[in-house]
Structure 1
Amino acid sequence: MGPLLARAVLDLAAADAAAGPPLADRLRAWSGIAAADAEVHDRVLAAHLAAPPRPAAPGTKKRGQ
């Protein structure tokens, strides 16, 4: 399972880098959700992290370019 977990972490890091804004910026408002309903917060967070990044708008640059 070690290599599969490592691959998943690398894939997640690549998707996060391609997503544009830093993860902290995308998750900033979620502490309020966690305070209101921890189970909903966990489910929304899991869905957010599992979703593929949206394609960049034409003419925009990815972070680091």
Structure 2
Amino acid sequence: MEDASSSELASLANGIGRDIAAVRAAITQPWSNSSVEGQINRLKTIKRHMYGRSGYALPRNGLLTTV
């Protein structure tokens, strides 16, 4: 992070430095929210489809990938 503070990545290094405890916890903890995030993404996709905001491309791509 010290090397990055004088480069183009200074903003990223400063942000990581401000929240270093959260970054360390994310790297060291054995659990993940990926299954929860997957369910949320699935539900949002279904809602968009029901409300007609997904357009023609989403159902078309879904059909093409399952065939």
The answer to which structure, 1 or 2, has the higher relative contact order (CA under 8 A, 6+ apart) is 1
Q: So what's the TM-score if we normalise by structure 2?
A: 0.31
Q: So what's the TM-score if we normalise by structure 1?
A: 0.31
